[in-house]
């Protein structure tokens, strides 16, 4: 039976503007950064590192917002809950998201921390090293939740990065309750290994309680969550508590386990990896769009892989190609 919900997905996530710049490995070493990782920084460090970066491109980002942007490009109906400030970057973020057709009505904060930004260093191998100043985004509180919006979406999609701040963690926990009370599914992305390392006990408790219906993780995140060193062991362990587990493995493709049934697809071929920023976000966009269309899990995985391929072949996390055409060509 067709859904009567207004939205396919409503997401709660960090409202961030990305600042991307090319960098060589020497800069990564000088700054004592771990290539391919994400770290949180304060306002002073953000200003200092920005001064050390080369020419940069600014574009709206944020993990969950990137996923919604991809879904909107695929024709899905989406809404977003996130906190920006009433400043220039906040206006940029709001315009960029709503221009794609995503509903975003969270009032901006007036005064206090500025809109969040992520300083991203992209090395010649396409790896992105992210340095995030959370700013206003971490101040998303329960008062910013739109209960009617959450209840009117088939899936509530939550970004693990928001689990790091007390206010946003409480807001997400309440949002889960609102979605469950409305009979909706909850999807959760683990976001990064440092998030899982810091909050793994919470996430394991949530999966054991069946608060999460759909879990997205990459291989490294899954190993930390499961507290295992072997991928297959970790996959089986986590899948026992999650109705639908989706694990990405980079060049080794992706796997989904639903109700004990395993489905795997290979990674899509690509000639040149330009920038891996947003690859996981766009994979989730393709997968969730496939679910919204009622497609088989194998098709959902393939849609995710196609969207991930398109995003790593360009700079930045918002697609510059016609995702719907690319998916249609691949699936026929």
- CATH label of the domain that carries residue 268: 3.40.1190.20
Judged on CB neighbours under 10 Å (0-12, 13-18, 19+), 112 is exposed
Whether 34 is in a domain gets the answer: no
In a domain, 126, yes or no: no
Closest residue by Cα to residue 192 from 32, 14, 38, 66 = 38
On whether residue 2 sits in a domain, the answer given is no
Q: Return the HEC string of 82-120.
A: CCCECCHHHHHHHHHHHCCCCEECCCCECCCCCCEEEEE
Asked, for residue 23, whether it belongs to a domain, the answer is no
Residue 249 has pLDDT above 90, yes or no: yes
| 223 part of a folded domain | yes
Residue with tokens 């309440």: 174
Q: Is residue 109 part of a domain?
A: no
* Segment among 22-31, 77-86, 268-277 with least mean pLDDT: 268-277
| Residue 120 maps to a domain | no
Strand partners, 81: 12
Q: Report the SS3 class of residue 52.
A: helix
Structural domain tally of the chain? 1
Model confidence pLDDT, tens digit, residues 112-170: 899 999 999 999 998 889 899 999 998 999 999 999 999 999 999 999 999 988 999 99
pLDDT (0 to 100) of residue 2? 61
Would the pLDDT of 10 be above 80? yes
Name the strand (E) or helix (H) holding 129.
Answer: strand 128-133
**Token duo for residue 315:** 């700079």
Region of poorest pLDDT, from 84-98, 232-246, 316-330? 316-330
For the chain, what percent of residues have pLDDT higher than 70?
Answer: 99
Q: What is the pLDDT of residues 34-45, one digit of tens each?
A: 998 889 899 899
Count Cβ atoms below 10 Å from residue 89 Cβ, excluding itself.
21
Strand-by-strand arrangement of the 38-40 sheet: 38-40, 128-133, 116-122, 16-22, 56-61
- What does the alpha-carbon distance between residue 267 and residue 4 come to, in Å, rounded to a whole number? 34
Q: Which pLDDT belongs to residue 226? A: 98
Mean pLDDT of all residues belonging to the chain: 94
Quote the pLDDT of residue 278.
84
Cα separation of 319 and 35, whole Å?
23
Q: Indicate if the pLDDT at residue 277 is higher than 80.
A: no
What pLDDT, in 10s, does the model give residues 84-126? 999 989 999 999 999 999 999 999 998 889 999 999 999 999 8
SS3 81: strand
Segments forming the whole domain that contains residue 255: 7-15+62-82+140-331
pLDDT confidence of residue 313: 86
In this prediction, residue 295 has a pLDDT band, given cuts at 50, 70 and 90, of very high
Residue 1 has pLDDT above 60, yes or no: no
- On whether the CB atoms of residues 268 and 309 are closer than 8 A, the answer is yes
Residue 286's pLDDT band, with cuts at 50, 70 and 90, is very high
pLDDT range class, residue 6, cuts 50, 70, 90: very high
**What are the backbone angles phi and psi of residue 50, rounded to the nearest 5°?**
-60, -35
């Amino acid at each position: 039976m067709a859904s009567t919900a207004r939205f396919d997905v409503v997401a709660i996530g960090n409202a961030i503007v990305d600042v991307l710049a090319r960098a060589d490995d020497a800069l990564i070493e000088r700054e004592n950064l771990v290539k391919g990782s994400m770290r949180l920084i304060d306002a002073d460090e953000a200003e200092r590192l920005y001064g050390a970066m080369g020419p940069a491109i600014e574009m709206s980002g944020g993990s969950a917002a990137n996923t919604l942007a991809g879904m909107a490009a695929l024709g899905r109906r989406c809404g977003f809950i996130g906190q920006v400030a009433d400043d220039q970057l906040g206006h940029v973020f709001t315009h960029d998201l709503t221009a794609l057709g995503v509903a975003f009505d969270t009032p901006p904060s007036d005064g206090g921390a500025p809109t969040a930004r992520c300083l991203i260093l992209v090395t010649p191998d396409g790896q992105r090293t992210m340095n995030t100043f959370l700013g206003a985004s971490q101040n998303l509180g329960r008062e910013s939740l739109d209960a009617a919006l959450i209840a009117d979406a088939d899936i509530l999609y939550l970004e693990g990065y928001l689990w790091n701040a007390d206010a946003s963690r409480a807001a997400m926990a309440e949002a889960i309750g609102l979605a469950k009370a409305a009979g909706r599914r909850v999807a959760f992305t683990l976001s990064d290994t440092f998030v899982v390392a810091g909050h793994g006990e919470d996430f394991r408790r949530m999966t054991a309680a069946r608060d999460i219906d759909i879990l997205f993780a990459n291989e490294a995140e899954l190993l930390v969550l499961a507290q295992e060193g072997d991928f297959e062991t970790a996959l089986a362990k986590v899948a026992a508590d999650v109705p639908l587990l989706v694990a990405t493995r980079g060049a080794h493709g992706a796997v989904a386990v639903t109700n004990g049934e395993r489905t795997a697809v290979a990674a899509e071929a690509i000639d040149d990896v330009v920038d891996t920023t947003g690859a996981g976000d766009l994979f989730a966009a393709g997968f969730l769009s496939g679910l919204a269309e009622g497609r088989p899990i194998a098709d959902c995985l393939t849609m995710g892989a196609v969207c991930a391929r398109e995003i790593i072949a360009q700079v930045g996390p918002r697609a510059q190609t016609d995702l719907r055409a690319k998916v249609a060509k691949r699936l026929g």
